[in-house]
Amino acid sequence: MLLLATVIATAETFRVATYNVANYLDQATESRRDVKSAEAKAKIRESIKALKPDVIAFQEMGAVSALLELREALKADGLDYPNWEHVTGFDTNIHVALLSKFPITARRPHTNDNFLLSGRRFRVNRGFLEVDLKVNDKYSFTVFAAHLKSRRPVPEADEAELRLEEAKLLREKIEARLTANPNANLVVLGDFNNTKDSPSTKVLIGRGKTKLVDTRPAERNGDNLPNPNPAWEPMNITWTHYYGKEDSLSRIDYILISQGMAREWIKAETYIQFVPNWGIGSDHRPIQATFEAVDK
């Protein structure tokens, strides 16, 4: 028993985060004129430094130059991410991106996925990021990062139907990986732009043997009691997004993991870091999950 405790205590761990950084632009575009302010950038760095993730995915990142500017600023603050990925989809303004302390051993950007809806062809707006990361000689995992269609109405089609079709395409890629290797270590994260009980989020989570586990990061504020209704999750504070028009808070950012990676998941070290005046940086809060770097 003592030997087991020692092994657990000394096991290498790593942290994976996701953060919608709300129009992190270093230059204006045709449809988005506001460049991210120095104050907002500083608050985003403060939030990231509070978490100290080993890997962090971003949504609403601007051009490659904006990602590299953030990377250099974090390095000056003591967080060095030598490896990065930036994926450009149909949307030419904001993108999905990733910074990593670990080597990227494979890149599979999905930039031209499309679907047919009501007789009309649509493309996935922000594409999907997919990379393989090597933590050490014994542990590797794959990250899928996505920013699904917003809940903002558009004239071309129903926004919920567009989001659902994007989710179906991403789920096909997840399903393919898990069919080939049911024990694959997968992290599927990002801004899914809807609640857990929505059709699009349910599609991503899946069912049966390839169902993903929702890590559900929450504030570490002392809440630890189970829900009186055993069918529901504990009443922790898990919201990730503030919607000013409705004056509402909701959980629309997720870190989902495969059954294989769930065996390495450290639930007690999975959380939302509270940072004062977090909204200066973004209308989203970053979330993080922690894992042991050993296959179980």
Residue 60 lies in a domain: yes
State the pLDDT at residue 97: 98
Query: How many domains are there within the chain?
Result: 1
Residue 6 lies in a domain: no
State the pLDDT at residue 4: 43
Q: Which residues of the chain have pLDDT under 50?
A: 1-9
Angle between helices 38-51 and 64-76 (to 10 degrees): 60
State the pLDDT at residue 6: 42
End-to-end CA distance of the chain: 18
Residue 104 lies in a domain: yes
State the pLDDT at residue 11: 63
State the pLDDT at residue 10: 52
| 0.75 exceeded by pTM | yes
> Three-state DSSP class for 256?
strand
Q: What is the bridge-based pairing of β-strands 241-243 and 287-292?
A: unpaired
Separation of CA 120 from chain center: 29
Q: Domain of residue 106: give its range.
A: 14-292
DSSP state of 69: H
Residue 113 lies in a domain: yes
State the pLDDT at residue 8: 44
H helices of 195-287, where?
Answer: 199-205, 259-262
Q: Where residue 134 sits, what CATH number does that domain have? A: 3.60.10.10
State the pLDDT at residue 5: 42
